[in-house]
Each structure stands twice: as structure tokens, then as C-alpha cells.
Amino acid sequence: MLLAVAAVVLCMAVPAGADAGDIYIQRVADAIGPGIADFVVKGIAQADEEGAACLIIELDTPGGLVESMRKIVMAMYAAQTPVVVFVSPSGARAASAGVMITMAADIAAMAPGTNIGAAHPVGGGGKEINETMAEKVTNDLVAFVKGIAQKRGRNAEWAEKAVRESVSATDKEAMEQKVIDVVAEDVDDLIRQIDGREIEGKGTLDLADADRKEIQETFRTKILKTISNPNIAYILLMLGLAGIYFELSHPGAIFPGVIGGIAIVLAFFSLQTLPVNYAGILLIVLAIVFFIMEMKITSFGLLSVAGVVSLFLGSLMLFEGNGPTGGLSWQVLIPTVLVISAFFVIVAGLAFKAQTAKPRTGSRGLTGEVGVVKQKLDPHGKVFVHGELWFAKAAEPIEKGEQVRVTGVDKLVLEVEPENG
């Protein structure tokens, strides 16, 4: 009886819809950023929840953001499922942040023809950091990677050199220096080699008869990866500013304001994950201020020119150079600045023209208009003005058919005088 109850409890412990003991495989071939970090962390959580035999992360990365890398490493430490990082296929690399991710795995593996290393920290966009800050950041990363190596029983001395001196190693060199545990031709070979290995705190791997399940990127992950691209973030920022600017200059349009609001929120999310120079953002905001002032002040185009220059300089300074996460492309920057500048200038010109144009409705719109007498004015009669028939009065008699000019409006009666007078 007790055995039956125990069997029922064990069956209930296996989540519905998942085969306990499957090998989960996750492909990561991109720079390490918020989108990738979210993808890997969720993959580890899914493997834990569904009782996977192990999670194999096929890695190929040029590096990426330190905070995203730390998020992945912390998830690996907390994982109940054995995590295997496999740098593959041949020609792939685990550079920069990829070094820490690979060494943090329970089992680190590489395919022939791959490399690992070059983890020296760089500034936002790939530029060198100033000397004082570089020393602080480097020491912090050295302590971090040495901690990883010691926790996993790997070569801490090599790990320190990878950060301080940007050393790299091939698959064979990494194996000889105890940076990794396995060199495997492919996933099949990897599974054969690690089957039966003891993982500290997680038991023995039993992979001989395990099925495989691939973890695919979700729509949310794809969106996060896309908007974390500096070019996309910049375009979203420009669209957002343009939409809000149009709504402010033409209240009630609604649609441009809605699109602009959504775009600006997405842009701000992207910018918080990217190496941003805030002087660039301030110059872009200043450009918008110049364009708004162009609508209010007669500057003969000087404010528009200042706005274009400020927008260009701000865009140029927004991201610093080209790093693993990418930088702002000239092919994106130049056309975007030209199009957005033209948009702002045209909208500002239309708004200024509308403000200074002669009214077309009401008494001010009728004053100065020329009409034709339809009923003799002596002194009252009717005139045809502005496409309508109006009661009118004149200081002297005016015959039917003659042209008159409106000089004023008294309630609903026009005051007119002879056009030739």
C-alpha cells in the first residue's frame, strides 16, 4: 500500500506535458545582451521546472555586456539542472563575456577549430576606458572570473590572463590548460563523452537513452534582441520624438502621438541596455527645442539650421564606437538625420505659416474680401461675398452688379465700400 502511494506521489511530481530526463539544447549565437540573457535564464528555468537531464547551451559569441553576462552566470549557479556550455560549431568563439559563461558551466566543452579568451574589458561601444576606471573594472572582472574558475575547479591563472592580457586559446590549448573539460566533434559526441559523469551536487548524468528537446527563442526574446540593437534603438528614438513633436504642433492628430509614445518607450528601454553618451541625448533634445522655437520665433531659418546641426552632433555622440553589441551605423545615421530634420523643418514651417496666415473664417476672414452687389445698396442691400449671400450696408448708394470691398462686419451685416473707390 505504501509503495503504491509513493509511486503516485512520484508520478505527480513530474510536470505535465514534459518528459523527465530529456536533454535540453539551447542555441546562442549572438552578442550577450539583455535579450540573450533573458533567453538563457528562461531556458535554465524551463529545464529545472521540467526535470531535464541536462541543458546544453551551444555558444558562439563575440562577448557583450557585463551585467547580462553576470545575470547568466548567476542563473547557472542557481540551476538545479546540470548546465553544459558547448562552444560550437567549428569556427565559433567564446570571447569576452563568453569566457565567463563557458567557465561557469558545470561542464565546459569546445568543438575542434573553436577558440576562447580575449576577455579584457572595454568601454561602451568597444573603446578603451580611462586608466583609473580601467584598473577598477579589470580588477573587478579578474576577481569575478577567478571565483568562477575556483568554484568549477578550472585554471584560475589562465582566466586572469584572459582578462588582464586578453590571451586566447584554441580548443586543444584550453583542454591542456584545464580551462574546459571536453573537446567534442558535435553534440552527439559531446553527449557520449559526458554520459555517466558525476556533477557535484547534481548527481550522475544519465543521457544514453534520453530524448532531445530544443529550446526555441520566443517572440518576446526576439523583440528584446531586436530593440537592443543600437541602430533600431536610434530609429525608435527618432520616430518617437517626431511623433510627439507632430502631436504637439498639431493637437488632435492622435495617431502620430500614439505611435510616438510607443516608440519613445521602446527607445528608452533599449537605451538603458546600451552604452549611451548622455551628452548625445541632451543635444538631440536641444535640437527638438530649436525646432519648436522655429514655430514661435521668426529666425529666418537660423533655428532650423541650429536644430539640424545639434541633431547630427547628438546622433554622432549617442553611441561610442563599435563594440560587441554593435554601434550606430553611418548608413542609418545619415539618412535618418536628413529625413527627421526635413520632417521637423517642414512641420515647423507649416505651423509658423498657419499662425501668421490671414484668418479665413469669421469677421476677420471676411474683412478685405471683394464681392458683387446683388441687390442695390441704398444704403442697405445684398452682396455676394466669399461664396455666400450677405446683407450689407454702404455709406453711399451702390448699383447692382458693381464690385465692393468689405471694410467691417456689424453683427451679421457687412459694411462695404465701392471697390474702385
Catalytic residues: 96, 136
Q: CB neighbours (10 Å) of residue 358?
A: 8
DSSP letter assigned to residue 130: P
Instruction: For residues 366 and 391, give the distance between their C-alpha atoms in angstroms, rounded to a whole number.
Output: 13
Q: Is 282 helix (H, G, I), strand (E, B) or coil?
A: helix
Rounded Cα distance between 42 and 34, Å, is 12
Distance CA 239, CA 210 (A): 50
Angstrom distances, CA of residue 326 to CA of 87, 129, 163, 230 = 21, 17, 21, 7
Q: Quick one: how far is CA 355 from the chain centroid?
A: 37
Q: What Å distances lie between residue 355 and 177, 299, 315, 368, CA to CA?
A: 75, 15, 31, 19
Task: Please report how many Cα atoms fall inside a 13 Å half-sphere around the Cα of residue 127, on the Cβ side.
Answer: 13
C-alpha cell at 96: 569576452
CA-to-CA separations, 224 to 100, 218, 262, in angstroms, rounded: 22, 10, 15
Residues 6+ apart with CB under 8 A from 15: 49, 50, 51
- Rounded Cα–Cα distance for residues 171 and 180 (Å): 8
Q: Which residues pair with 416 in a beta bridge?
A: 394, 406
CB distance 333 to 284 below 8 Å:
no
